[in-house]
Chain A
Amino acid sequence: MSLGTLAGAVAPQAASLVDPGALLATGSAVDGLQTAARVLAEGIGKGAVYFTIAVGLTLVFGLMGVLNFAHGAVAMVGAYLGGLVLVLVVGANTGSLATILVFFVALALVFAVTTAAGSAMEVTLIRPIYDRTPTYQILLTFGVSLIIEELARIVLTLRGIQPDPQWQAPMATAPDALLGRTELLGVGVRRLYLFEVAIGALVAVAVWAFLTKTLYGLYIRAGSEDTEMVQALGVDVRRAFTVVFGVGTGLAAVGGVLLMWDPIWGPSVLLSIDVLLYAFVVVIIGGLGSFTGTLVAAGIVGIADSVTTWLFTTGIVTFPGLSEVTIFLLLVVMLIIRPQGLYGVEEVGGH
C-alpha cells in the first residue's frame, strides 16, 4: 500500500484532528505523490527555520569551541524586539509590501543591537575564562540565559504583557500576502513557509559570504581546523572571537525575529529553551562547527518534523509527542553512530 492510499483511507476518520488547510490538501489530493511533495515542502520550510536558529550557534562553536547556552534566550529577545518594532510601526491598513519592508528593517535593527550586545558580553564575561575547561563557558552562558529570561519576564510583566501565553500582537501584523497557500508546481504550500525559506536562504548566503569572502570568515574556517596554528600565524584571535561571538548572537536574534510570525513558535519566554534545544540538535547532527553540516542537518530535522507531524495529524499515529521524540532520537542515534556529526571534524574546538 502506498503512503497516499493510506492517507486517503485514514483522513476522513481523523477529520477533527486535522487543521482545515491540511484537510483540504489531503482530502482533495488523494494522489500520494502530491501529499508527499507537500510534506516535503513544509519540511523544507521548517528546515529553513531550524537553520536560521542554529547557524549562529555553530559559528561560535566553530571558532571558539564555546557552546553558547544563551543562544535561545537571545532568540527570544529577538522575537520580542522584532515584534515590538512591527507592532509600533504597522497599523491596520498597512499594505503587505510595506509590512514586509518593515520586517526587514526590524531584522536589520535587531541584528545590529544584538551583535553589539553579544560582542560586549564576550569581552566582559567570556574572555576572562578561556583558560578554563570548556564546561565553565557552558555554565557561564547558561547563567546569562537565566538572567536574560528573568529580565524579559520582569519587563513583560511591568508593561502588562503576560509572559507565558504567547504575545498575539506581532502575530496579527503578519501581512495578508503571507497567509494562506499558494500553488507551486501543483502543490499547495503555505506562503509563510515560502517566506521562511527565502529568509533562510538569505541568511545562508550571507553567512556563506561571511565565511568565504571576509577575513573573519577565513579565521573561523582556519580556527575550526586548528586554533593554535591560527594564533601562531599572527591572527588577533581575541578580536576575531569578539566579532564572531557578536555575529553569532546577532544571528540568534535574527532567528527569533523570523519565529515571531510563525504560529508554531510565536514570541514567548519559553521560546528560549525550545530554540536552544532544537538548535543543539541541529548543530550536533550536522557536526559542531560545520556550516554545511548545519544546513544539511536543518533540512533533515525539518523534514523529519514535518513527516512526523503529518503522521500525527492524519491520525496514522496517535502519539502527540511523536515529532519531538523523533527529533531527539535523531540526536541520540547520530551521537551513537557518528559522534562528530555528519560533517564534523573530530575533536573540534579542543574537546
Chain B
Amino acid sequence: MIVGFLLYPLVYEALLATPVEPLAEAFLPAVTFMIVVLYMGLFAMSFDFISGYTGYLSFGHAAFFGTGGYFVVLAANGQIPGIPGGTPFMFTLLLGAVLAALLALVIGSVSFRLTGVYFAMITLGFAQVIYELIRSWGYVSTNPTEGATVSGDALAVGVPYVDALSLDVGRLTGESVENLLGLGIDLSATVVSYYALGIVVVICYFAMQRIVHSPFGRVMIAIRENEERARAVGYATYRFKLAAFAISGFFGAIAGGIFAAYSRSVAPDGTFYFLVTADALITTIVGGFGTLAGPVYGTLFNQGLEDVLSTESGGIATLLREGLPASVLEADLFGVSLELFVNTAVDGRAPLYLGIVFVLFVLYVPNGILGTLRDRLGGTVGKRLPDHLRRYFR
C-alpha cells in the first residue's frame, strides 16, 4: 500500500501525458484529492483505533480533529499564550496533539462510565458543545463562524531547525523541488506537500499499528469482544479504555493539524462539526471496521468517488458533457433536459452514491473491504496473498 502511495503521483503525471488522458483525468483522483486521503485517512484511522478496536463508538471524534487544527492555526498566528509565533510546525503539531489527548482524558473520564448508544451520545454532546463554543469565540478571529486562517508563512513538515530536512506544505503556498537529487525529476508544490504529509501519516500509522499489536492492543480487543470477561481476568478496563481514547485523540489531532497546515485555514464546520465524525465513520465501515489500514482504503474510495463525481479536476460530469453529442444532452427527461440532470444528479453528488454504497456495505459486507479480504484469505493480506497467488500461478 505504501509503495502504491509512493508511486501514485508519478504514475498519474505519466498517464496524463498519454492518449488515455481524458479517461485518466475523469476516473483517477488528482494529487490534491490524494492529500485529502492522507489526512482524512489518518483521522479515520484514529477513529477506528478507538471505535473499531474497543467497540466504543466515538461519535464526537471531530472534537480532536478540530483541536489539532485550531491549535496549529492559532499557534502559527502567535495567538496561543506561551508559544511564540515562529515555533516550528512540528512542535505545535505535537503540542496540539497532546492537548487533544488531555481533552480526550477529560471527556473519556466521564464518558466511559457509559456504554453503547449512551457513550456515542455523550461524546457527541461534548463535541457539539465545543463546536458551538468555537463558533462564537471571538478570540479565534473576527468572524469565528468562518474560522481562522494562517496569516504568516507556509508551515514546514520535517525536522525543526534543520532547513535541509524541512519542506513547506500548503495548497497554494508549498515548496517545489526541481531536479530532485540530481535525477532530473521535478516535483510540483502539490506533490511535495503530498510526500511530506504522507511521511507524517505513515509514521502515525506505524505507531498505531505497533500499539494495536502490543499487549495493550490485545486488551483493547478483549474489551470489544467481552468487557466483563476482560475485567474478570483482572484488567482495569476503565483505564485501558481511557488510555486508548487518549491515544486516539492524539492521532486525531495530528490529522487535524496537518489538514490545517495544508489548507492554511480552519472553519468550525470543517473540523468540529458532527459531519466530520460521520465522514470518518462511513469510510471506516467501507474500509473495514477494526482493521487499522481499512479506513485508508475507505477514504481512498470515498475521495475517489468524490473526485470522479466533481468537476474540480475533470470528472464524469465533464466527460459526459464534452463527450456526448448535443442532441443527446438536450433530450427531454420528464421535463428536465439531460444536461441539467447530469449537472445536478452527477456533479458533486458523491454523498448520494457513497450513502448507497455505505448502506450496501452495512447490509452485506459488514467487515468492510479489508476485513472481508482478510476473512477470505484467512489472515492479513500481506501474509496470505503470496500463498494464494502461488497456488494459482505455479
Binding site for B on A (CB under 8 A): 67, 125, 128-129, 132, 134-136, 138-140, 142-144, 146-147, 149-151, 153-154, 157-158, 273, 277, 280-281, 284, 288, 319-321, 324-325, 328-329, 331-332, 335-336, 339, 351
Which of B110, B118, B120 gathers most chain A CB within 10 Å? B118
- On chain B, the residues within 8 Å of A147 by CB distance are 352, 355-356, 359
Given A147-B359, A324-B132, A325-B132: A331 in contact with B336 (beta carbons within 8 A): no
Rounded to whole Å, the gap between the CB of B267 and the closest CB of chain A is: 15
Report the stretch among B10-18, B28-36, B273-281, B369-377 that lies at the interface: B273-281
Nearest chain A residue, comparing its CB with the CB of B356: A147
Size range of the chain B interface in the assembly? 35 or more
* Contact between B336 and A158, CB atoms less than 8 A apart: yes
Q: Is the interface of A mostly helix, strand, loop or mixed?
A: helix
Q: Does B148 contact A (CB under 8 A)?
A: no
Rounded to whole Å, the gap between the CB of A130 and the closest CB of chain B is: 12
Shortest Cβ-Cβ A-B pairs, 10 listed: A146-B355, A150-B352, A351-B116, A143-B359, A321-B136, A147-B355, A321-B132, A143-B358, A331-B125, A335-B122
Q: Does B381 contact A (CB under 8 A)?
A: no
Given A321-B133, A351-B115: A136 in contact with B125 (beta carbons within 8 A): no
- On chain B, the residues within 8 Å of A328 by CB distance are 125, 128-129, 132
Q: Does B124 contact A (CB under 8 A)?
A: yes
- In the complex, A328 Cα to B118 Cα: how many Å? 14
* Contact between B129 and A139, CB atoms less than 8 A apart: no
- In the complex, A277 Cα to B60 Cα: how many Å? 12
Name 15 A/B residue pairs within 8 A (Cβ), A-sorted. A125-B363, A128-B363, A143-B358, A154-B345, A158-B341, A273-B274, A273-B275, A280-B121, A284-B118, A319-B136, A321-B133, A325-B129, A328-B128, A331-B125, A339-B118
Which of A128, A146, A154 gathers most chain B CB within 10 Å? A146
* Contact between B114 and A339, CB atoms less than 8 A apart: yes
* Contact between B122 and A332, CB atoms less than 8 A apart: yes
Binding site for A on B (CB under 8 A): 55, 57, 110-111, 113-118, 120-122, 124-126, 128-129, 132-133, 135-136, 274-275, 278, 281-282, 285, 336, 340-341, 344-345, 349, 351-352, 354-356, 358-359, 362-363, 366
* Contact between B124 and A280, CB atoms less than 8 A apart: yes
Rounded to whole Å, the gap between the CB of A158 and the closest CB of chain B is: 5
* Contact between B352 and A140, CB atoms less than 8 A apart: no
